[in-house]
């Protein structure tokens, strides 16, 4: 058996007889002036504060408001909120972030969406990305991303007093 191993070792030809293959150069161009230039190819939709406030008249459920975004559907799941699905994919295949932090469903049966914690009146904007999520949003969800951002707080200038207010009402039966 040792002779067989010696013959097998001598029969192996060295890699010196192989030639190397040179790959062609690839040029990559980007516009560094635009921070979101990398997202230009994504299938994304933004619902801003003004658009959400117009839709909030009919519902206090943020997922229902997002139904205006192409490809987004709301699946009724109970009294608090609906579950978002993007192009038919929902539950844990859609990542939901609130102010940059990913938030999981509150119930193991995916009954309450994290969007139920967001009041549409305090919303700054919502970014809906359809399809595989980019690395900046976790990168491991095939359904998409719903990224909610709260509105920036308002502060009074030094020595000034700030008085603001909003009112709204809706009826649902």
pLDDT in tens, 130-152: 888 888 887 778 888 989 888 88
Classify residue 74 as exposed, middle or buried by CB count within 10 Å of its CB (0-12, 13-18, 19+).
buried
For the stretch 38-81, pLDDT in tens is 444 567 778 776 666 666 556 667 777 788 788 888 887 666 67
Angstrom distance (rounded) from CA 28 to CA 23: 15
Show the CA angle centred on residue 160, arms to residues 159 and 163, nearest 5°: 150
Best CA proximity match to 114, nearest among 152, 145, 151: 145
Residue with tokens 């040029």: 27
For the stretch 96-130, pLDDT in tens is 888 888 888 777 777 778 887 787 778 888 888 88
- pLDDT score of 33 more than 60: no
């Amino acid at each position: 058996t040792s002779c067989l191993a010696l013959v097998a070792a001598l029969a192996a030809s060295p890699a010196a007889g192989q030639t190397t293959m040179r790959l062609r150069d690839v040029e990559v161009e980007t516009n560094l002036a635009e921070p979101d230039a990398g997202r230009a190819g994504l299938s994304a939709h933004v619902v801003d504060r003004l658009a959400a406030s117009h839709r909030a008249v009919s519902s206090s459920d943020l997922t229902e408001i997002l139904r205006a975004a192409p490809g987004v559907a709301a699946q009724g799941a109970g009294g608090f909120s609906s579950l978002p699905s993007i192009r038919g994919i929902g539950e844990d295949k859609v990542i939901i972030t609130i102010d940059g932090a990913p938030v999981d469903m509150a119930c193991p049966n995916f009954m309450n969406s994290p969007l139920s914690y967001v009041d549409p009146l305090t919303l700054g904007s919502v970014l809906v990305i359809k399809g595989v999520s980019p690395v900046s949003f976790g990168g491991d969800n095939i359904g998409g991303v719903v990224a909610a951002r709260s509105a920036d707080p308002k502060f009074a200038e030094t020595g000034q007093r700030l008085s603001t207010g909003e009112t709204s009402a809706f009826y649902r039966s």
